[in-house]
Amino acid sequence: MSSLQGEIERCGERIFALIDQHPDSIFSKAGYYQRMMNWSMRDEHFKVQMFRFVDVLASLRRSGDIVRHLREYFADMRDGFAPMMKVGLRAAGIAPSVTSFVLRRNVSGMARQFIAGRNPDDVMKTLRKRRSQNIGFTVDLLGEAVVSEPEADEYAARCLELLEGLAEQTRGWTDPLGAASDLFPVVNLSVKISALYSQMNPADPADAIAHLAPKLRPILRRARELGAFVNFDLESYAHKNTTLELFKTLFREKEFIDWPHAGIVIQAYLRDAEHDLCELINWARDRGMRFTVRLVKGAYWDYEKIQARQNGWVCPVFLQKPESDVNFETLSRILLENESIVTSAFGSHNVRSIAYAQAYAEQLGIDRSRFEFQLLYGMAGSIKLALVEMGYRVREYCPVGELLPGMSYLVRRLLENTSNEGFLKAKFSDNVSAAQLLRDPRSLIGGMRSVSSVESSPSLAAYSRNGASLETPPGDTYENAPLVNFVHRSNQEQMRTALREMRGRLGQKYPLVIDGQKIWTGSLINSINPSLPKQIVGSVTEAGIPEAEAAIKAARNAFDHWCRASVEHRAELLERVAGIMDRRRFELSALEVFEVGKSWAEADGDIREAIDFLLFYAQQMRLRGLPRLTQHVPGEESYQHYWPRGIALVIAPWNFPMAILTGMVSAALVTGNTVIMKPAEQSAVCGAMLMEMFEEAGVPAGVLNFLPGKGRVIGAHLVDHKDVDMIAFTGSREVGLRIWESAGKTRRGQRELKRVVCEMGGKNAVIIDSDADLDEAIVDSIYSAFGYQGQKCSALSRLIVLDENYDRVMKRLVEAAASLRVGNPEEPGITVGPVIDETAYRRMQETIEAGKAEATLAFQGKDLPPEGYFIPPTIFTDVKPEMRLSCEEIFGPILSVIRVRDLDEAIRVANDTDYALTGGFFSRSPANIERVKAELVAGNVYINRSCTGAVVGRHPFGGFKMSGGGTKAGGADYLLQFMIPRIVTENIMRHGFAPDTTPEFRAPFRWPPP
């Protein structure tokens, strides 16, 4: 055993011995809370329901509501809970007000276990008590989710007030250890940085710092005057780099450069924590002044894992608990070795982690007074007392605030305390032995996939094919392409470079491509930048009727060989295009910023979706590519397979200029059709880029023809053409219905019934229930309504709010809308850019004027850029279901709010529309959620999340009624519309003899054989 390990064990055993002298449960409080926790640890379902119930309880005001929720969450509890639950629920039925009173009291008691006080005065009782135990404090103001700038300003004001109060009330308090007291001011404030600015965008740290620094300076200045200490807490990974950068920026400023009482958190569960810590230490040496690091493992482990999984990112946190433990020790070592410039605060309840720091400090000869241990209020009381007794400096982290803003903090604590991987449960609940708890975590790490860097994106190869096979059900195995994570500086830089290079290339001209030939007609369509209408992004050649005819001829000729090409050959073409798109990803995103006014993240989302369509449809086609036996019957074999329809005309919109175009084109091609691709005029350069990529990937001449032009000229001509076999259209209701009708007419010489795949708009509604989590509902509704300027067919247009919640929702909604950043989306953190063109701009202005005559203009943004088609976020209230604002599709940043009495009325209003595309519901009532899932008339129903942002394969997308033909882009059935099913049956019995078995799949029917 190494001498260090021996020393760690000695320190750890001493702590355990002292803990035994102050016997304590896992939680410092017994009774109701302890029972709940014990049950939670025994039964995962109970735990989920319990934490969800706790989460909603604080927002319920009426006892009837509390009892209803209690029933909804716990009525189906089985096993050991049944008798207890039955009694509880019966009591709730007889005396709801008593039950709700008891429940509230118990849950408040539970919250108070972790929340040290409601306000600065309240918290003083706790702090005085701790002082008598020689335990210091850091105070944290609860309230992390701010949705608007007034809320952020209020948080800043409360921080200042708290500082003043603490300084006043602790006057005369002295350091418990005496030695090195200059490093550890008595008053210590922990600040949540994200609570100070509502528009923090990981892609734009400079903007965040520009807004955060002015809010923090008065707090830091006052702290310095009062002799206090300020710590920057770390939150989710999305904000980590900005918080570190902010810290370094502020404390290099002249005013603070010589101030030692600043600290920041490092989260050891992050793979890049060591790199960040070393950079910080170098920064500090350069600055020439001490600072403090609170080393923790990290509080958002589950969240980070889910985020990474959903977005296809390399997971920023370690996946094995011992890896976090080992990293904690590595970082402890670095901290202690740099004691000359950094003061260490070890934030852990894990005795092994604590003992490691003690042993290593001992080895380096660092005095106990020069570092400290920090532990959370309400947890591991006996460890705190043990450490004090051993002569260490101990500080308690004391959250202050009301129950409601404290809920997410409370739920994090409950999760931590019941985690199977956590130290506290192992020690205090499972009674794991001291020897086991003190083992070197290095010995516990299992073998696993190594990840080179958090910044690296998984290669596209990992996503193509996705392991799908003929035996695997379609869709089940598809893994989406990753989004670009703009948290990483390298990605921000690549995007900036791409924008710069694209700016230098604006104004290029692009030809038609017919039968593999580049064609110039002498007539050009200019595509302009909606943020700067004088800027021409590019010009595409305009096709007329002769070119349309030529394209049909080319497509017809090419069809003969393309329809015979193997599925594998066609699928590989799509995969090659996906590879090219991935290589040109930033360039294409930059083009979208210029051509259609998308923000960085929206543009990247569009490219990701395009890549997904290519890979998903390639996979789906492989699954459908072989003739499949319909039934096993002796003596006969009957195989179903598919033929392509013929020539597909693809007419795409500008709002998802790469994704929708790519989706329709790739579906048509992979199924064996030849294609005439007509992009929207406003996004024709994106179309030209897609053509370029297909050419580079080797699409044969005539198989894909690029034909930009005026819809009413070539669009109409092609739709009516006898030789066009199918039309895939996404766009407005007006044009869609015309196509639907026109394609229904059979023309002279026409051989096929035309198939129309038709996706149109929506008048999408989101309902906010009376118990909804408003932090979530407001942020997601704002994003759904105003993200990409409301120009998504899935965008929120009607927000339906229950009476009971109306005033609270409206206050926060309007303030949140007012806080949005409107501007040229070349800047990374812009949420609202320009609408697409002058026609849209004028239509929006008219809609707003007309809206003022029928409803109340509750909010309209100001401070628009002087140039460009900018329409500010606009909110109308007092909107009635029969008004134009409620009925007509708007396709812009205009939100109508409809107030309703109850959920019955809300559902009625939501469904009372010509459209059925997306719909949403925010609620924490399981019964109401079930009801809305069953009753909301929409093609895509979203619960407790934004109603935009469908992901290929995960959320097959499309509506019905006047929103479309009910087909689902990105779904398993989508390709079927591009094909004709065919059955080939053969009697395989000869003179009463037939083979025993018939294979499930057979080779494609081809003649002559390949």
Ligand X SMILES: Cc1cc2nc3c(=O)[nH]c(=O)nc-3n(C[C@H](O)[C@H](O)[C@H](O)COP(=O)(O)OP(=O)(O)OC[C@H]3O[C@@H](n4cnc5c(N)ncnc54)[C@H](O)[C@@H]3O)c2cc1C
| Active site members | 759, 793
Q: Are 32 and 106 in contact (CB under 8 A)?
A: yes
Token pair for 223? 């702290």
Q: Quick check: helix, strand or coil at residue 816? A: helix
Give bridge partners of residue 527 from the DSSP assignment: 538
Least separation in angstroms between CB 305 and ligand X: 8
Q: How far is Cα 953 from Cα 941, in angstroms, rounded to an integer?
A: 15
At residue 890, what are phi and psi to the nearest 5 degrees? Answer: -110, -45
In sequence order, the 6+-apart residues with CB closer than 8 A to the CB of 82 are none
In sequence order, the 6+-apart residues with CB closer than 8 A to the CB of 504 are none
Question: DSSP letters along 571-591, please?
Answer: HHHHHHHHHHHHHTHHHHHHH
**Token match 């390709």: residue?**
975
Q: Quick check: helix, strand or coil at residue 928? A: helix
Q: Are 405 and 115 in contact (CB under 8 A)?
A: no
Q: Are 70 and 92 in contact (CB under 8 A)?
A: yes
Q: What CA–CA distances, in Å, run from 526 to 523, 833, 835?
A: 10, 20, 17
Least separation in angstroms between CB 346 and ligand X: 9
Least separation in angstroms between CB 375 and ligand X: 5
- For strands 940-943 and 894-900, give the pairing: unpaired
H-state helical runs in 133-198: 149-169
Q: How far is Cα 167 from Cα 474, in angstroms, rounded to an integer?
A: 64
Token pair for 801? 């709010």
Token pair for 558? 């090419």
Nearest alpha carbon to residue 858 among 818, 804, 798, 800:
818
Q: How far is Cα 161 from Cα 143, in angstroms, rounded to an integer?
A: 15
Handedness of CA 146, 151, 152, 156 (dihedral sign): negative
Q: What is the 3-state secondary structure (H, E, C) of 198-231?
A: CCCCCCCHHHHHHHHHHHHHHHHHHHHHHCCEEE
Nearest alpha carbon to residue 909 among 771, 797, 778, 790:
797
Q: Are 670 and 621 in contact (CB under 8 A)?
A: yes
What do you get for the CA distance between the two ends of the chain, in Å? 69
* Residue 23 preceded by cis peptide, ω within 30: no
Can you say whether residue 930 is alpha, beta or left, with left for phi > 0 and alpha for psi between -120 and 50 degrees? alpha
Q: How many CA atoms lie within 13 A of 836 on its CB side?
A: 22
What single DSSP character describes residue 26? Answer: S
What single DSSP character describes residue 438? Answer: T
What does the CA dihedral 652, 654, 659, 663 come to, rounded to 10 degrees? 0
At residue 229, what are phi and psi to the nearest 5 degrees? Answer: -115, 140
Nearest alpha carbon to residue 677 among 713, 714, 641, 627:
714
Q: How far is Cα 261 from Cα 184, in angstroms, rounded to an integer?
A: 8
In sequence order, the 6+-apart residues with CB closer than 8 A to the CB of 310 are none
Interacting residues with ligand X (CB under 6 A): 233-234, 265, 267, 269, 294, 296-301, 317-321, 323-324, 347-350, 353, 374-376, 397, 416, 421-423
Pick 412 or 945: Cβ nearer ligand X: 412
Q: How far is Cα 111 from Cα 122, in angstroms, rounded to an integer?
A: 14
Q: Quick check: helix, strand or coil at residue 949? A: coil
Pick 296 or 898: Cβ nearer ligand X: 296
Token pair for 826? 């070349």
Least separation in angstroms between CB 342 and ligand X: 17
Least separation in angstroms between CB 413 and ligand X: 8
Pick 317 or 596: Cβ nearer ligand X: 317
Question: DSSP letters along 867-916, please?
Answer: SS-----EEEES--TTSHHHHS---SSEEEEEEESSHHHHHHHHH-SSEE
Q: How many CA atoms lie within 13 A of 145 on its CB side?
A: 15
